[in-house]
A and B are shown apart, each in its own frame.
Chain A
């Protein structure tokens, strides 16, 4: 508790100011002072995820039934670059691609795949965690 806040509370205790006046003074002090390190008022800056991790732990796989572990870490920058590359597809090629995807049952419009839309998606991936637990395998996909 800093000195100014203490003085306001002391004035209130001494009856020199009313409760409303004390509240106004304290609010003004809070606006003026910067947040103290470690205080509840300080909101930590959200760190952006740098990597996409895929971890697979399969108890039995393959013809011999041995355990298999897969651990993949891909930088987010690579994903962003991949989308930027996809946005370079010529319009006439995009039409062919859209038709081919539609034949497979995927209604995707590749012309809407834009880098600015991807940034919002990647920001949302910060909190994404996918866990699949099966008796034979565990899969975890998350960002870090």
Chain B
């Protein structure tokens, strides 16, 4: 009786704690999302308006250049840039990562550990520290304010992680399967595409999603390597709103929602594989 009561109190307590936790996680984001659908007059109102009265899509229409009112910030161009840069760099990083991950998972070779460590260490360089020399070199070879310049940097940023994750996913596939295929007359190349690639496909996809998000969200390097609508990405464009004396909170929130949506959708798709990949690669070495 006594212990049952104790257990009950414990359960209630953990639910209360969980509720509070979810509140802290969700409220900040939700508040921004709500603001995206409200006019600035309501955001700035004193005393505060708690329950939104004017719920509409005007902010989105404004930043995308529809409707009567328009903002001077070319969000559609930033959106296209972000999409092109993130997709291209992800595709390249995945190809490089697959080839590198396969090498680490399937071969023994000299300098293996050293190379792996080197790969990881290259990822520790803070973005802003890397941006200084990249800025100097890129400005000499004309890659500043070019999509290509940012794509190259993002590929390098994503390669270590994709190699690490994909290495883990290949390792989970027993070596014997591709060996059996090779005995049956496949070349190693064929065995890879017929056996190992299909099995590791979902893992590789989640590595790709992770790479996409890294590129999509990156700010420190992009803010220094881009200048105009030719190459500015959404995170850099978000700062355009604060350049003025008055901050357009509603417009900024609408833009924030545009940046968040892909992240939320992709997170939902990737969550299971990502946890598996990270823990497997880390614990089983």
Q: Do A and B bind each other?
A: no
Chain B contacts to A: CB under 8 angstroms: none
